[in-house]
Amino acid sequence: MMDSIHSDDKAGRALVAGGAGFLGSHLCARLLRDGWEVICLDNFQTGRASNLATLASHPMLTVMRHDVVDPIPDLQVSRIYHLACPASPVHYQADPLRTLRTCVLGTIQMLELAERVGARLLQASTSEVYGDPLQHPQQEQYWGHVNPVGPRACYDEGKRCAETICTEYAHTEGVEVKIARIFNTYGPNMSPNDGRVVSNFIVQALAGQPLTVYGDGTQTRSFCYVDDLIDGLVRLMESPSAMTQPINLGNPAELSMLEIADLVRACTGAQVPIVFRDLPVDDPAHRCPDISLAQQYLDWTPKVPPREGIARTAEYFAQESQASPERESQAMAAFMQTKRGGRRQGRARVV
């Protein structure tokens, strides 16, 4: 019989697709702390076993190596968090067709699973659906300004299509769907080579290298610390069923690239210069969320200020720089050893 969430707030079983990724690993940790049994599904294309290393001893965690574009067995879960997709330009542009398949076919697979087992699904969408926005800050009612044939289109349009698919499954099949439009997020468990600005700056600063700024550095983003973002996702998932429209989740505190560079230098103590490079094609000039709906309906507002969040992230990368080069393979081997032995007392398992 399928697990369910009861009115007495007892947790059940949740599936986190993309659970070994940056956001997914933090979400797995949060759900486990909240008492959920968690199935982490990941193909480990960009997800890392080392992100889950601190959870390896948790008896309520199952790690399932699987690609979301392939048929998924009837996992008896009551909540599905669909976070599976490369999210940085370096990764999603490396194989655009695979990115599109993940966004479209993967979302269909997740929704069909949700329909079969009666689960509620949260779709991790993105601020990229707004493209290079003509509205500032961006409200959920804004339809966006996206180049459908540009180098970012595989992700931008893939996520826009995923929102449409979710909406139609809700309307025609009765699947309970939540859509989170996630703005720039940063924090521990980011990959050092994912090409995102915060991780780029910190890795360069710790190595004593110049910070690379693309364009003139006046373009802005709104950076949300990962703990705040995960809290928003959980609140959205558990919001009333009537809350079906997309919701922006991000930090409305807008910072320029140059301001982020200065914060990174201050937090790391690095005395390094800035070098300027050409701005990538279709890189948005501004990106900032209007979070009025999240504040009103989820009682959610980011709490971690940029200086504190960047300091925590810099500390994480400093520790990572001292880690063994074999750490990732060792972490995967540890999970696979558990797989051979099945579920053991006090151990996560892999299936």
Each residue's pLDDT tens digit, 34-50:
999 999 999 999 999 99
Domain map (residue ranges) of the chain: 13-185+224-251+288-305+324-350
pLDDT confidence of residue 286 = 86
Q: What is the mean pLDDT of the chain?
A: 90
Q: Between β-strands 177-182 and 61-65, what pairing exists: parallel, antiparallel or unpaired?
A: unpaired
* 112-121, 283-292, 333-342: range with highest mean pLDDT: 112-121
Please report, rounded to a whole number, the percentage of residues in the chain having pLDDT higher than 90.
80
Q: Which residue has the higher pLDDT, 86 or 290?
A: 290
Name the more confident of 200 and 8. 200
Quote the distance between the C-alpha of residue 146 and its chain's center. 21
Tell me if the bond preceding 137 is cis, omega within 30° of 0. Answer: yes
Question: Given pLDDT bands bounded at 50, 70 and 90, which one contains residue 281?
Answer: confident
The answer on pLDDT for 51 being more than 50 is: yes
At residue 350, the pLDDT reads: 62
| CA–CA distance, 294 with 299 (Å, rounded to integer) | 6
pLDDT digits (tens, 9 = 90+) for 156-208: 999 999 999 999 999 999 999 999 999 999 999 999 988 899 999 999 999 99
- State the pLDDT at residue 340: 45
Regarding predicted confidence, which is higher, 194 or 33?
33
Provide the pLDDT confidence category of residue 323 given band limits of 50, 70 and 90: confident
Q: Indicate whether 336 pLDDT > 90.
A: no
| Stated pTM of the model | 0.91
Would you say residue 243 has pLDDT above 50?
yes
User: Would you say 289 and 138 are in contact if contact means Cβ atoms under 8 Å apart?
Assistant: yes
Question: 163, 134, 162: which is closest to 146 by C-alpha?
Answer: 134
CATH architecture of 13-185+224-251+288-305+324-350: 3-Layer(aba) Sandwich (3.40)
User: How confident is residue 324, by pLDDT bands cut at 50, 70 and 90?
Assistant: low
Give the per-residue pLDDT at 349: 61
Distance CA 106, CA 76 (A): 18
Show which residues are catalytic: 155
For the residues 243-263, what does the mean pLDDT come to?
Answer: 95
